[in-house]
Amino acid sequence: MLFQFTHPLWLLALVPALGWVLWVAWFSDTSLTRWKRNTTLAIRILLVLLVVAALAGLQRREPVDSMNVFFLLDRSDSIPSPQQEAGLRYVNEAVRQKELRDKAGVLVFAADAALETTASSMLDLQRINAVISAERTDIAAAIRLGTAAFPEEGQKRLVLVSDGNENVGDAMGSLLAARPLGVTLDVLPRGVERAGDASVEKVTVPSRLKKGQAFEPKVFIEASQNQNGVLRIYRNDQLLGEQKVVLTPGKNLFSFSQQLDDSGFYRYDAQLEVGGDSLPQNNRGTAFTGVRGEPRVLLVSSNPSQDAPLLAALRSARLQVTSVDVRAMPTSLAELQSYEGIFLSNVAAGDFSSGMLRTIESLVRDFGVGLVCIGGDQAFTAGGYRGTPLEAVLPVGMELDSKKVLPKGAVAMVMHGMEFANGNQVARDCALGVLEALNAQDEMGVVLWDGVVRWLFELAPVGDKEEAGKQIAGMNQGDLPSFQEVMERAHASLAKSTANLKHMIVFSDGDPGPPTDALMQEIRDARITVTSVLISGHAGPDTMMAIAAKGNGRFYDVRSPDELPQIFLKEAAVILKSAIFEDPFQPKLAAASELIRGIPPAEYPTLRGYVSTSPKARAETPLVSDKGDPILAHWQYGLGRSVAFTSDAQAKWSGAWLSWDRYQQFWSQIAQWSLRRLDNAEFNTEVNIDKGEGLITLEAVDEQGNYRNFLNLQAVVVSPKGERQTVRLEQNGAGRYQARFATREVGAYVLNVMEMKDGKVRASQVLGASVNFSPEFAAPSPNLNLLHRLAEAGGGKVLDPANPQDVPFRLNREKTFQAHDLWEWLLKLAVVLFTFDVGLRRVDLDPEDVAKFANRWRRRLFFWKPSVPEGKPEESLSALLARRDQVRSQQPAPTADPALFRPAQPVVETPIPASATVGSTPAASPEAPSPASAAQPTPTSTTSRLLEAKRRAQKKPD
């Protein structure tokens, strides 16, 4: 068929439309002549056909003989690297055998899909540039993306190069959705058989325990053959023991006895070691359990020895307190949430990774853990808290009031062009990070080399940061030969600055020449500190280390972009020391609070310093400084509480407080107020993870053993990367509730299951679950069954690379058709015909007039002239006169009427009076109308004349 309709149901409107046209033609237009009536009827029928065809989507089908092939390459962890490279070679070999009119494209997929190359007639793929996560296999996403990427013309074919071990999505569903679009699917199996593979399938422990309760952790191991191995058990990273095990094909179960006497949150790890196992990634399993008991508090300090008085005060409140250095702080959410409260004493934001900062925020917001932040010269505004999750949790802000007169800081950044991929963007991100951390009154400048040494923008107050941020974003520095000139320029500007703190940061890959010792001495004499940041250095760190050492600064060797946020915060904190006030003052009582209940206002000892901050709107601020700045503030944040004390708890600023008899009362009341307040829910809850999805199963029973129905239950799930999702548990049985959540990352997932009532949390239960290894390592062999079913459902076949006939561009080639829409042309023609129809009906045209009009325009357009008889003009005139006489002779002669000139009445002669003078005109006397005049008809009216004209027109022949 050369034509087709995309909406054939509109053709049903053709019959009633044509009937309406015929009915109108039959009962109207009676005044039109026959030829007009027939012509307009034909035009209207054609109009109806055109409009209905346009609505039905009439298309012209043009035959196309071309093939479009998209190769879907599996890049997940279950495909060995040699087989991934073999897939690239297969694509290039197949493309070399295609015809010129055919097109080929490449799409890579694993946990997600990415388009490597679009469909083109020329393809030579040497390496894969697309970056995707390899921890999952989502064949469905690859099929959807490949279907959407096909050109409109030509046959469409997908070639799936995979092991078929799908663990995310539904490949069969996506393929069935693509088939109506003309897409076919061929399959090229990949993957290996992992002989001798043994894996730890899961580890199970009770989710909640009581002190001293005996239980048995269970380890399930899957083996493919008879094997011997060693099983090791760890609790919170401490080895409990190891045991030799004998494995049989299938599932193997091992258990051991345990008893926990201390409260807390515990993690059990099982590690299996088997000789000859080619896949060690799946030989580990993890499970979590919690023991209820006395509240536990974690004290994190930058110098634990100086926080001994604070530690003693907290323990006097009968709290189990664990004190650690900030570098030894636990990093997992599962372990941290076992504490009811966390104290941070004089800790900078740069001491934590960005993931750890998000974990602290989640602990307070999602799990109700209390947070108490104590100041010092490395905390709050001076510690780079601004813009971090710590600032969001705390009741004080780091954006200071512009009316406050604070010492200024100044920083000059020396930027060097990086010679590695995306290096300049890394440097731009560094500069933007420092800019965002500074206050408005601080000064900042950027000096670089791009052929000449120049300022990107000179050292000046930061202000609103917008203009400086735009200039940094467009910065494109070059590979400078030496540090000497750029550092001289930065030193000269900093030396002129009136800032109290002056700092220089040098970003480089380490290959420029070093500055002279004389310049470094001048920099030190001007009280300027210098920090050097070596980013992916390829010339050795000696030059950069020497710059930092001679400049009394710090040296950073950055190997990963994940380290950059901490560098921003630490270096900005050098300038932000200007937010510290070190004048002695006595705290003032600003408002009553539960935290300071029972302490008289006049008894607060003198403090010798604090960090300037600003109070938040919803926060309570019981104590303030002599300048009105917050000293003690607290508020509710999510499910938890947080407290900020902007002075320190050490001898530097709080020396007088250490001997204060209410020192222990002050800190114990703060600790008790901040501790987690959520009641423990008595639920029987299990969390299972399978095929990239977690399943929460909960049973709610009251003390009498009756099922609790219609509860409002929800769970907050925090992933290993700190990402948060909230799911609602739906009831699916008597006292039974379930919910599912995505688990796309490997690691520990921490859940807080909460019972909600009247919009508040009534009780909660904290659980843990773990994705022990990527599902890519769960299957010991390719899923050939799925691959064969996909090929069958996709109208393709399972390809054999050794068969020269199995070339995707040659198999089952079919001529396809490219459809071209005609509705626009149909509607244009309908508009023209409609105009012609209206004109034909409304304009009365005589055929003779039409002929004359046509002749006139024909003469004008083609210079046509009528033929003239040959001969002289005199002869032509004689012929015309002869013809005139002939016509006159044939006409009858007129008959003379004797009464024609006779008067209507007799003339009566009237004598002229004698008085009349000669030349005068006698007055005309009125005469009566004559009988002849009276007999003449009266003139007709306008209507009569129009009717007579109409009768004459109807008598004319058609």
- Can you give the three-state secondary structure of 124-188, one letter per residue? CCCCCCCCCCCCCCCHHHHHHHHHHHCCCCCEEEEEEEECCCCCCCCHHHHHHHHHHHCEEEEEE
Confidence of residue 835 (pLDDT cuts 50, 70, 90): confident
Tell me the residue type at 44: R
End-to-end CA distance of the chain: 45
Q: List pLDDT tens digits, range 103-134.
A: 999 999 998 999 999 998 888 888 888 888 88
Cα gap 700→684, rounded to integer Å: 7
Q: Considering only 220-224, 516-520, 729-733, 885-889, which range has the smallest mean pLDDT?
A: 885-889
Share of the chain above pLDDT 90, in %: 34
Question: Would the pLDDT of 44 be above 90?
Answer: no
Q: Can you tell me the mean pLDDT for 465-474?
A: 84
For the chain, helix (H) and strand (E) counts, in that order, are 23, 44
pLDDT at residue number 492: 92
pLDDT at residue number 21: 81
Confidence of residue 620 (pLDDT cuts 50, 70, 90): very high
DSSP secondary structure code for residue 865 in this structure:
-
Confidence of residue 169 (pLDDT cuts 50, 70, 90): confident
Q: Give CA separation, 217 vs 17, 198, 259, 529, 599, in Å.
A: 79, 20, 10, 56, 50
Confidence of residue 931 (pLDDT cuts 50, 70, 90): very low
Q: Can you tell me the mean pLDDT for 816-836?
A: 83
Residue 207 token pair: 């989710």
Cα gap 484→486, rounded to integer Å: 6
Judge whether 198 and 229 are in contact, CB under 8 Å. yes
pLDDT at residue number 946: 74
- Best CA proximity match to 434, nearest among 630, 570, 591, 291: 570
Judge whether 184 and 795 are in contact, CB under 8 Å. yes
Cα gap 300→318, rounded to integer Å: 18
Q: List pLDDT tens digits, range 720-743.
A: 888 889 999 999 999 999 999 988
DSSP secondary structure code for residue 913 in this structure:
P
CA dihedral (432, 363, 269, 238) positive or negative: positive
Q: List pLDDT tens digits, range 380-420.
A: 988 888 888 999 999 999 877 655 556 678 889 888 766 55
Q: List pLDDT tens digits, range 77-103.
A: 889 888 999 999 999 999 988 888 889
Share of the chain above pLDDT 70, in %: 86
Q: How far is CA 701 from the centre of its chain?
A: 43
Question: Would the pLDDT of 324 be above 50?
Answer: yes
Q: Put residue 284 in one of left, alpha, beta given phi > 0 → left and psi -120 to 50 → alpha.
A: beta
pLDDT at residue number 863: 56
Q: List pLDDT tens digits, range 535-550.
A: 766 666 888 889 989 9
